[in-house]
Each structure stands twice: as structure tokens, then as C-alpha cells.
């Protein structure tokens, strides 16, 4: 790999991203949705609140959810239960661009926040109880933002007063449930919150589970063929809340009960499907981003992506043009440098290499498409590795080898023809087993180069190296 090669690849990536940004803006304008004036009997609802480190990510996820339901042409209103501190521009986008009806509410005071097992990221999830206050509707399907709809599910509006899916053998999941709005039930729930009803996790999951403790004993919901609406509580088939972990075992869906309609991602919060790094670690992340690409687009993130690509191209051009001067500058040392100077220089080189791989990761927009995210990360880490190699006169190949290793791991994880998840997992392990000695060797060589004073000190009378001093190996 040469500087010219990297520059050509970077320029190609810039052109590709610029073209994508133009297309995204066109799609965003074309697919802008006007708020519907038709009133429906039923509604799909989700919620938004502020006060977590991931507010923007959930805002994006909510918009993708709403637009995906619009694309499915559902026969229902789309409602977002939003706390009053949600930014006005977000509310306006949901209403004017996505066609949602935003209901502003006060946050429910969570009396369980002092429980020993309480997770603070769920402190405002009791706002979900406001779904029972939507009494303008016959039925409401309440949704978490991380649901991925594969097909239309309007038959859920035929379900009874409360219906939910057991993705756990004993505990139903509140990521999707059907309810009949009722002021009486809502007031009773608010009173139960105030008196501190038993709640195993201090969040909506535990509270609603304790409010409907006998749902496991209820019959399974099957939509009547005559479109009638059922009475009572029902269990929903697993196909309405297909836990993504079921997919990863066989790399295909094999849910026998009910339609395979909705995927949910209840796992680790930092591996939600909208994060660019979640794919190809979790293969279904790409499916979520494809849905976003066809609905909301990536217009909001593209300016930052373009700025970063221009930054990296500028750094590469600077290295190309100023490399001889950078080498001279790196050799400009006192004849008898102190031990503290040696230590400071080596420490600077060490942290520069770490920063080359850490900094690009943290400045990439978190909700960008994974292909763009990983491409931008590898471009950034390679650029900063080139810079560190030139400034500190380190061998280049050991510095960029981690980038090559990361690219190889991505290709192994993204390979689309594994027979099942076990084979995929074994393949990833085999790759890691084979790559570890190579990466370790590169780390040892880099550490040895940093420790060697020949890279940092020019002895008295020694001539400066030519611009080709910076060898690959």
C-alpha cells in the first residue's frame, strides 16, 4: 500500500459519499410525509423522553419506526408519547415530516429509583403507562423504538384488553403489547405507582408484568377471520416479538408459532441495530439500516461524514508533501537529550498510536450506515497511523496491521454463506486464533521501535535520511 493508493481510495470514498448525500437529500424531500387528517380507530404508539446519553439515537430509531409503519400502509394513527422536554425541532420533524401525532406528557415520577437493582437508563420508562390514557382509540399497539417490522400487523387490533409476547418462558416482553385504552385503568396504574406497587426491576417491564400477573395462563391470540374484536387478555405468538438472538443461532428465522412479523433487539444497549459498529457483529443490524435507508435516509449525518473525509484527505496530502520536513523535524534534537526527554518522546509515540485507532471511532456519527461507518473508521485509523509512522520514524506495516486485521475480521463476520450461527462463531474464533500471533508480533515490533533510540535521536555528525527512510518493515 502506497500513499498514492490511499489517496486514490480516499478520493473515491469521498465521491461516493458526496453522491450518496445528494441522493439522500433528494429521497428525504421526496418521501416527506404530510400529516394525515383522517382519524383512525386504532393507533401504533411509541415513546420518547430525554435525560439519557442516547437521546438522539432513540429519536432516530423512533423516526425510522414511524416511517417503516407508514411504508407498510398501516390502517392506524401513529402516535409518539413525548416528554415535554423533547426538543421542539424533534417534535416538529415527527409531526410534519413523519406524519406522527405527538402527545406531550409530564414524566412519571419513578418511586423505584432507589432499588438496589435499578438501572438508571430505565428511570423514565414508566411514561409508557400513558398509552392507557389514549382513550380516543379502541386499541393501541405500544412499541419500543428497537422494533423492526417485516410486514403489516394490523390484525393485532383485534386482540383483547391486554396482549403481549412471552420471549422469556415466564415473563412477557413490554417491547410490543396491545392494550385497550381506559381512563379507569390508567388512573389505577398511576395510583399503584404512587403507592409503590411491587416492581422487580423498577421499570415498565416489572410494573406491567406485576399488573397483569396471570397473562401466562391466558389463551393464545389468533385473529378471527370475521375481523371481530376479542375480549379478555391473550398471549401473542412469538412471531410478533422475535428476539434477534433466535436468529443468530441458525442465521435464519424458524419461529413456528404465528407470523414472522416483528424483530426486537432486547440485548446489550450498545449493540442496538442503529449503531454503525453493531454490524457485522450482529448481522441483523444491516437489515435495520436498510430499512432506514429506504425511509428516513442519512441526510443528517452526511455533512459530518464529508467533513471527516476531507480532514483525512488533507492529512494524507500534508504527509505526502511535507514528509521530508517532518523527518527533519523529528531528528532535530539536542546533542545530549535528557532521560526525561527520551521518556516523554516515547510516551508521546505510544499514545499517538493508540489515538490513531481510538479517535476515529469516537468522532464517527453513531447512527451512520455500517458500511460508511467502518469505511470511515479504517480510513481514519490508517491516516493517523501514516502520520505517526512519518513523525516518529516507525516502520509502517506494524502500525497499519491492526487495521488490516480489523478489515479481515469484518469480512469473516459478514460472510453471507454460513450454514448456521455455530459455524459462523467457530470461523470467527479460528480467524482470531490465527490473527492473534501476527497482531502480537506487530505490537512487539512497534514497541521495540519506540524503545530504540535510533528512531528518536540523531547522533553527532550523523547525516539525515532521505525521504525514503520511512520503510515498510
Count the residues in the chain.
473
Q: Which of 283, 229, 238 is nearest to 428 (CA)?
A: 283
Q: pLDDT value at position 203?
A: 93
Q: Where are the domains of the chain?
A: 34-267, 302-455
Per-residue pLDDT for 85 more than 60? Answer: yes
- Residues 6 or more apart in contact with residue 358 via CB below 8 angstroms: none
Nearest to 63 by CA among 103, 22, 92, 29: 92
- pLDDT tens column, 156-210: 999 999 999 999 888 999 999 999 999 999 999 999 999 989 999 999 999 999 9
For the purposes of burial, counting CB atoms within 10 Å of the CB of 400, is it exposed (0-12), middle (13-18) or buried (19 or more)?
buried
What span, in angstroms and rounded, lies between the C-alpha atoms of 112 and 93?
A: 33
For position 333, what pLDDT does the model report? Answer: 52
CA distance 403 to 384: 11
- Percent composition of the chain: helix, strand, coil (DSSP 3-state, to 5): 55, 10, 35
pLDDT at 326: 62
Higher pLDDT, 333 or 255: 255
DSSP codes of every residue in 111-171 = TTTTSTT--GGGTTGGGGGGGGG-TTSSEEEEE-TT-EESS--GGGGGS-SEEEE-SSSSS
Please check whether residue 199 is in contact with residue 218, taking contact to mean a CB–CB distance below 8 angstroms.
no
Per-residue pLDDT reduced to its tens digit, 283-294: 899 999 999 999
| Number of neighbouring beta carbons within 10 Å of residue 78 | 25
With bands split at pLDDT 50, 70 and 90, how would you rate the model's confidence at 329? low
pLDDT above 90 for 26: no
Across the range 328-333, mean pLDDT stands at 58
Most confident of 28-37, 188-197, 342-351, 449-458: 188-197
Is 5's pLDDT higher than 70? Answer: no
Q: Can you tell me the distance from the alpha carbon of 192 to that of 172, in angstroms, rounded to the nearest whole number?
A: 20
pLDDT in tens, 397-432: 999 999 999 999 999 999 999 998 999 999 999 999
Overall average pLDDT of the 234-252 stretch: 87
Pairwise CA distance, residues 199 & 202, whole Å = 5
Residue 448's nearest CA partner among 383, 382, 406, 398 is: 398
- pLDDT tens readout for residues 430-456: 999 999 999 999 999 998 888 874 455
Lowest mean pLDDT among 33-42, 105-114, 119-128, 361-370: 33-42
More confident residue, 68 or 3: 68
* Residue 203 CB contacts under 8 Å (≥ 6 apart), including other chains: 112, 118, 119, 122, 125, 126
Determine the pLDDT at residue 330.
56
Could you report how far apart the first and last alpha carbons of the chain are, in Å?
Answer: 12
Band of residue 50 on the pLDDT scale cut at 50, 70, 90 = very high
Rg (CA), the chain: 28
- The strand pair at 262-264 and 148-149 is best described as antiparallel
Set of cell numbers at residue 157: 387490533
Q: How confident is the model at residue 393 (pLDDT cuts 50, 70, 90)?
A: confident
For residue 416, what is its C-alpha cell? 453471507
- What is the DSSP code (8-state) at residue 95? I
Percent of the chain scoring above 90 in pLDDT: 65
pLDDT tier, 319 (very low <50, low <70, confident <90, very high otherwise): confident
Q: What is the pLDDT of residue 382?
A: 95
pLDDT band for position 268 (cuts 50, 70, 90): confident
Confidence of residue 390 (pLDDT cuts 50, 70, 90): confident
How does residue 463 score in pLDDT terms, banded at 50, 70 and 90? very low
Lowest-pLDDT range, 24-33, 128-137, 141-150, 356-365?
A: 24-33
Determine what percent of the chain is predicted with pLDDT higher than 70: 84
Of residues 122 and 328, more confidence is placed in 122
pLDDT at 459 over 60: no
Q: Is the pLDDT of residue 368 over 80?
A: yes
Reference 298, options 16, 5, 6; nearest CA is: 16
The domain made up of 34-267 has a fold known as Spore Coat Polysaccharide Biosynthesis Protein SpsA; Chain A (3.90.550)
Whole-number Å distance between alpha carbons of 439 and 445: 10
Local confidence band at 121 (pLDDT 50, 70, 90 cut-offs): confident
Report pLDDT digits (tens) over 210-229: 999 999 999 999 999 998 99
> Average pLDDT, whole number, for the chain?
86
- Of the candidates 134, 108, 133, the one whose C-alpha atom is nearest the C-alpha of residue 122 is 108
Q: How many Å apart are CA 47 and CA 468, to the nearest integer?
A: 59
What per-residue confidence (pLDDT) applies to 9?
57
pLDDT at residue 128, rounded to an integer: 97
* C-alpha dist (Å) from residue 448 to 65, 82, 248, 305: 52, 56, 41, 36
What pLDDT does 3 receive? Answer: 52
Amino acid at each position: 500500500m502506497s500513499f498514492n493508493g490511499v489517496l486514490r481510495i480516499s478520493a473515491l470514498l469521498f465521491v461516493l459519499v458526496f453522491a450518496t448525500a445528494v441522493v439522500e437529500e433528494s429521497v428525504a424531500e421526496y418521501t416527506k410525509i404530510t400529516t394525515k387528517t383522517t382519524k383512525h380507530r386504532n393507533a401504533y404508539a411509541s415513546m420518547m423522553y430525554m435525560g439519557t446519553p442516547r437521546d438522539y439515537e432513540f429519536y432516530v430509531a423512533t423516526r425510522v419506526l414511524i416511517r417503516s409503519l407508514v411504508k407498510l400502509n398501516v390502517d392506524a394513527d401513529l402516535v409518539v408519547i413525548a416528554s415535554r422536554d423533547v426538543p421542539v425541532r424533534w417534535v416538529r420533524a415527527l409531526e410534519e415530516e413523519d406524519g406522527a401525532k405527538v402527545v406531550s406528557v409530564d414524566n412519571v415520577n419513578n418511586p423505584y429509583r432507589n432499588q438496589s437493582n435499578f438501572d438508571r437508563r430505565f428511570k423514565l420508562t414508566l411514561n409508557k403507562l400513558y398509552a392507557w390514557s389514549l382513550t380516543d382509540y379502541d386499541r393501541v399497539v405500544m412499541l419500543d423504538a428497537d422494533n423492526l417490522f417485516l410486514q403489516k400487523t394490523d390484525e393485532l387490533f383485534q386482540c383483547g384488553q391486554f396482549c403481549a409476547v412471552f420471549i422469556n418462558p415466564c415473563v412477557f416482553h413490554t417491547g410490543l403489547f396491545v392494550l385497550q385504552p381506559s381512563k379507569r385503568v390508567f388512573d389505577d396504574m398511576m395510583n399503584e405507582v404512587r403507592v409503590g406497587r411491587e416492581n422487580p426491576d423498577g421499570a415498565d417491564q416489572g410494573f406491567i408484568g406485576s399488573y397483569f400477573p396471570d397473562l401466562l395462563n391466558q389463551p393464545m391470540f389468533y385473529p378471527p377471520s370475521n375481523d371481530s374484536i376479542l375480549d379478555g387478555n391473550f398471549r401473542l405468538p412469538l412471531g410478533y416479538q422475535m428476539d434477534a438472538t433466535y436468529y443468530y443461532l441458525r442465521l435464519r428465522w424458524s419461529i413456528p408459532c404465528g407470523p414472522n412479523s416483528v424483530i426486537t433487539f432486547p440485548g446489550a444497549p450498545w449493540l442496538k441495530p442503529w449503531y454503525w459498529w453493531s454490524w457485522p457483529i450482529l448481522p441483523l443490524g444491516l437489515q435495520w439500516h436498510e430499512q432506514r435507508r429506504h425511509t428516513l435516509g442519512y441526510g443528517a449525518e452526511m455533512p459530518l461524514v464529508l467533513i471527516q473525509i476531507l480532514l483525512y484527505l488533507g492529512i494524507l496530502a500534508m504527509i505526502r508533501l511535507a514528509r521530508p520536513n517532518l523527518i527533519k523535524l523529528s531528528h532535530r534534537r539536542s546533542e545530549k537529550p535528557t532521560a526525561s526527554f527520551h521518556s516523554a518522546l516515547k510516551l508521546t509515540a505510544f499514545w499517538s498510536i493508540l489515538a490513531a485507532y481510538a479517535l476515529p471511532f469516537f468522532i464517527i456519527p453513531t447512527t451512520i450506515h455500517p458500511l460508511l461507518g467502518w469505511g470511515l473508521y479504517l480510513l481514519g485509523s490508517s491516516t493517523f497511523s501514516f502520520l505517526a509512522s512519518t513523525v516518529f520514524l516507525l516502520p509502517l506495516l506494524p502500525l497499519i496491521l491492526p487495521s488490516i486485521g480489523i478489515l479481515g475480521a469484518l469480512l469473516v463476520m459478514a460472510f453471507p454463506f454460513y450454514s448456521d450461527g455455530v459455524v459462523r462463531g467457530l470461523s470467527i474464533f479460528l480467524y482470531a486464533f490465527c490473527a492473534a500471533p501476527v497482531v502480537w508480533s506487530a505490537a512487539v515490533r512497534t514497541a521495540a521501535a519506540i524503545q530504540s533510540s535510533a528512531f528518536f535521536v540523531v547522533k553527532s555528525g550523523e547525516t539525515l535520511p532521505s525521504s525514503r527512510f520511512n520503510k515498510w518493515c
